Structure formats: C-alpha cells, structure tokens
Structure 1
C-alpha cells in the first residue's frame, strides 16, 4: 500500500483536525508542520509526532519528504500558499475560501490547471449527512422544482471576538458564506446568476473588531430558485451552540428542511445554561478509523490523491463560490443587484 506523506500549514484548531486524520489513516503519514509562530509549530510537532516544524511555509513546501499539503491558515492567507505549493507540483487540500478576492482565486484556478498536483477545497458540507439528504431529495424530484428557500449559517459573537484573532481580516460572509453558498450549489446542482445584498456594521466595530456584522443576501439561481441567505457574526452567546445552520427549500411539489445545528438531539443543562452537542461533525470511532463529516472530507482528499477518486470540490468550485461572495460584497457596497458572468 502506497503511503502519502503530508505536511500541514497552520497549527490551529482546524490544523489539529487535519493531523487527526493523517495520523489515523493507515495510508498517510504526517511528516511536517508549519506555523507563523515557531513555538506553536514546535508544540504541534511534539503533539502530532511529525518529524519537522517550520515557521516559513516555503520551507515546508520545499521539504522533499512532503508530497501533499493541507492549508489550515486564516482565510486571507490561502492564495500565496496554494500558488507556491502548486508551482512545486504538490497536492493541496485547502480550507475555504480558496481566496478572498476574485483575482487571486482566478490565479489559483489557473495554477491548478497547470500543475500536476491536485487541488481540493474542503467544502465539507458535501459529506454532511443533513446536506446530502437535501441534495438527494432535490435530485429525486421529491419537492419538484425548487422555487424559493432560506439558508442561515451564522455565529455567536464568541467566534469573531474570542475564537478568531484575525476576524477583522475576514467576515461572516467569507468565513461562513463560503460554506453555505457551496452547499446550495451542491444541493440544487445549479449556479447563482444574480445577487442582491445588504450589510450592516457597528456592533463588532464597537467591540474592537473592524468587520461587517451581517450580510443578508438574495441569490437567484439559473433554474429559477431564489434563496435568502444570512451570514451573521453577532448572534447572542446565550445560544446553546456557537453556530446556527439551517437550510429550508420549498418546491412546487413539496418542502424539505435541514437543521444540523439546533436539532437538540443532546441538550446539556448546567449552571452555564443550555448547550447543544454536535453529533455530526466528529463522531466516536476505533483507533484506526475516523468518523464524522468534518474528518471524512479530509480523508476524501487522500482518496483523490492515492486512488484517483473524484475531488470533493475542486478549483472550479472554489472559483464559483468566490464569484458569488465577491458579487455579494459588490452589491452591498453599491446598493444594487449584481449579475454574475461565467
């Protein structure tokens, strides 16, 4: 059995998820880690058992032991890392978004087409059981033609104020909207052709994070469906979970709703209030297996590299999502609808 040797760039929360997968699968070996903070890189190296730690991503990319690279760094840092890795013909798994400008994303997509390395975007909701159920129901015609819907992926203020030190360099639109726009494309098997969006700011700025509080957007798809999309970073921390994810679709023959976050299958009631548990993202398994859609998506990158399995989401998907998010920002800034060109 061939072994894939992997390096991780970004020694934070999500980098740890990547390490968990690569240290569990029998066909992968984690050989290097990189983080801009040397002490964090070295701590990650010790915890994960890999051989090398770097503070410059170019050094990790140049490491001859590294065949594939996971990019688990902040949203705004992705493009230069991906471009350098693809130039070196390394395989790349990148967290969303692929990049935060249309120009950078187009450059990445062009580089992916020219490189012998594979590029996958970690749009992990494509293997989220709730979202797959939506996709299958729509594809089977259970609700007929999708007419309208509502999608919400928002966070409590804990995320921009406490969890992400770099929140001011991103927004709920880029951090969360990238996931849900791709999920809608996946479920509807369709592309967005026009958007109209309104943004509001002030709550986070007053608390020291200079980014938008919320985008409320209308997405029109080519087959006729109209979806209202909410991406907010100012939900109350009194919520029982830090994220709120819902998709509701109404068709001409039926309706289907998904509520992956607030389904209440497990509710903890303590002195700190009510809290929901996440039962889908990461699930219990034996020591040689991984479970849950968050880890499964990472494992599918390995399948694509070693077994020529289809990529879960490729550069074209990443580019399509960035086009929509950039159009949403443009619409919110100018106060008019924006039509997308493909």
Structure 2
C-alpha cells in the first residue's frame, strides 16, 4: 500500500535513483521532487507527471501530509536540511555522509531521538547482498580473528567542488568496515595530495587502527586510469575478497593464511611461519538493487518504529573517522586519536 508520502530534495547525480526507487516502492507515494535547478525538475516532471516539482524545499516541509523526505544534496547542506525536516516532523533518509562535522551529526542524531523520528543514512553498500553475506561469514566465525581490512576505491573523476576525495569516496568503505568489523577505532592517520587549482585532495590514503592489532587501510583516488572497487579482509582462518566490479563472483572466500610453529617458546623471533594454501569458493548472492532494499527497510522502520541498520549513530561513526582524517591530513599525516 502506497501510504507513506515522501518527497525528494536534490535531483542531481543520486536524486533520480532515489526518485525511481521510491516511485517503484509498494510503500511510498512519491509526492514531491525539489531542486534549485529548474532544468532538472522539468526533466523529472516529464518522467513523473503526477509529481509536484519545486525549487523551494520549504514547500515539502510545510505539507503536513508528507511523512518523509530524502535528502540528496551536497554535504555542506545536509545539516540545515535534515534539521529542518526533523523539526517539521518528517522521517529522513539522507545521502552519505550524514553531516560535515561530528558536532552537526551528533545534533541530528539527538534531534531524531527527541522527536521519535527515523533518521536513515544512505550507506547503500550495507544493503548489498555481498556485504551482508560477508557480515554473516564473520559473525559465524568463519574468518576467525580479523587481522586487517584493506580497500581500494579509485577511478578517473568525478571531481567534487565542495569536498575532497576522502569525504567523497571513503564513506562507502568506512561504512562497510563499521558494519562488518563492529569495533570502535582508536586512531586515524591520513595523507594525500591535490593536483588541481581547487586545493582539494584528489588522492589520499587513510589508516584506521583498532585495539588488538586490527588495522584498516583505505586508498581513494580521483586520478586513476582504471576503476577499482575492491576490499580484502584477512582473518586468522580465512580471507575474503569483495570485488564490486566483478559481475559473476563479487565475493571470493580463500582458505589461505599463515600458521606459526614455534621452534623455541622463549623467543618469538625463532618462530617458523608456515603458509596454508587451501581452496577458494565463490558463494552465490542475489543481485537485488541495494537502494531498493534500503528503501524497503526505510518503510519498515517507519511503519514499525524499528532502528535502521544504517541509523544516525552509524552515520555519526563514519563522520568521526572522516573528521579525524581531515585533522590528520591538515597536520601532515599525524596520528589523531578518536
């Protein structure tokens, strides 16, 4: 039943995907599409003639019949738009990252809690079958103790005018790490460089450390000649490779690793490293569009007052790492505790 009335704020790069999925949902009634660019709203109107288009987001917030809004605008606008939407009594789905600062993110989380409203952050990869399957493997203990999380997300463009490559690309893999690892990081180190007049870093490396020697590394780049979307997770029992660009086998589980055979218990330096080379298998996963799954989850949370998988707290944890990375970057790569 299409009884949850929703409006979209922002019809640029990601907005049309939200509009399409909300329109196709059995639960949502797409009422509004808002963007400052009239050409964009006119194109939306051609595809969805029954949707009210506007350049003023306040029209959506003033409509008492509207239950929810989705915000797909530049990150520097998120705090204002999400705050006003929550204050107007609307449930909110907001594009990643949640906000520009930890303080802003905390305020939004607290406001949603105070108002009793759903705040869902659009960490789309969490809703992919691949990532959820990896989470199942790790939760079942199949990988053993997690040693490292290593990700590469590189391509040629798209250059952003308001955020650097870390804030643009890293939230995807940071959210995957947060979901899969489930541990609180203790420090962040970030280095990067800018090769364009705008001064925003277009190549960067972020290292996140945890307790018990767990380490995560993120390579993000707008200047790569090839597109790579890959995560490698190493465990004491098995290892996982997640290649989002592989159409056939997005997940590969490797029964590989090392074993320590101590020749002399008094000295760790005399330990013998042995290599375990086993089989590889690629589990079957479904190809349901992640955004469709996410929007259905949003509806379920609204109807049944459930806590979203990627709620405001999850968004806040990602912003904490991003803010720490920014501080490290500005100080030449110093370690920033979080």
Structure 2 matches for 1:96-115, cutoff 5 A? 96-115=96-115
For the Cα contact (< 8 Å) 1:171–1:211, is it kept in 2?
yes
For residue 181 of structure 1, report the CA deviation from its aligned partner: 0.6
Instruction: Name structure 1 gaps, 5 residues minimum.
Output: 161-166, 267-281, 284-290
Structure 2 matches for 1:31-70, cutoff 5 A? 31-70=31-70
For residue 46 of structure 1, report the CA deviation from its aligned partner: 3.3
For the Cα contact (< 8 Å) 1:146–1:224, is it kept in 2?
no
For residue 264 of structure 1, report the CA deviation from its aligned partner: 5.4
What is the DSSP-based 3-state SS (H/G/I as helix, E as strand, rest coil) of the residue aligned with 1:36? coil
For the Cα contact (< 8 Å) 1:144–1:252, is it kept in 2?
yes
- C-alpha distance in 2, partners of 1:133/1:229? 21
TM-score (norm 1): 0.83
TM-score (norm 2): 0.83
Q: Does 1:5 align with 2:5?
A: yes
Q: CA RMSD in A?
A: 2.1
Structure 2 matches for 1:285-324, cutoff 5 A? 291-324=288-321
For the Cα contact (< 8 Å) 1:2–1:306, is it kept in 2?
no
For the Cα contact (< 8 Å) 1:168–1:210, is it kept in 2?
no
Q: Which residue of 2 aligns with 1:164?
A: none
Q: Which residue of 2 aligns with 1:211?
A: 200
- C-alpha distance in 2, partners of 1:9/1:60? 9
Q: Does 1:179 align with 2:172?
A: yes
For residue 315 of structure 1, report the CA deviation from its aligned partner: 0.9
For residue 50 of structure 1, report the CA deviation from its aligned partner: 3.7
Q: Which residue of 2 aligns with 1:228?
A: 217
- C-alpha distance in 2, partners of 1:217/1:23? 38
What is the DSSP-based 3-state SS (H/G/I as helix, E as strand, rest coil) of the residue aligned with 1:152? strand
What is the DSSP-based 3-state SS (H/G/I as helix, E as strand, rest coil) of the residue aligned with 2:234? strand
- C-alpha distance in 1, partners of 2:74/2:84? 17
- C-alpha distance in 1, partners of 2:213/2:62? 47
- C-alpha distance in 2, partners of 1:292/1:51? 23
For residue 226 of structure 1, report the CA deviation from its aligned partner: 0.4
For the Cα contact (< 8 Å) 2:6–2:70, is it kept in 1?
yes
For the Cα contact (< 8 Å) 1:122–1:298, is it kept in 2?
no
Runs of 4+ in 1 over 4 A off after TM superposition: none
Structure 2 matches for 1:1-342, cutoff 5 A? 1=1, 3-157=3-157, 159-160=158-159, 167-202=160-195, 204-205=196-197, 209-236=198-225, 239=226, 243-261=227-245, 263=246, 265=248, 291-334=288-331, 335-340=333-338
Q: Larger % of strand: which? A: 2
Structure number with greater Rg is 2
For residue 309 of structure 1, report the CA deviation from its aligned partner: 4.0
For the Cα contact (< 8 Å) 2:21–2:291, is it kept in 1?
no
- Say how many residue pairs are matched: 302
For the Cα contact (< 8 Å) 1:147–1:226, is it kept in 2?
yes
For residue 133 of structure 1, report the CA deviation from its aligned partner: 2.4
For the Cα contact (< 8 Å) 1:123–1:312, is it kept in 2?
no
For residue 221 of structure 1, report the CA deviation from its aligned partner: 2.2
Cα offsets for 1:158-185 (capped at 9, x unmatched) = x11xxxxxx1201221121111111101
Q: Which residue of 2 aligns with 1:279?
A: none
What is the DSSP-based 3-state SS (H/G/I as helix, E as strand, rest coil) of the residue aligned with 2:170? helix
Instruction: Name structure 2 gaps, 5 residues minimum.
Output: 250-285
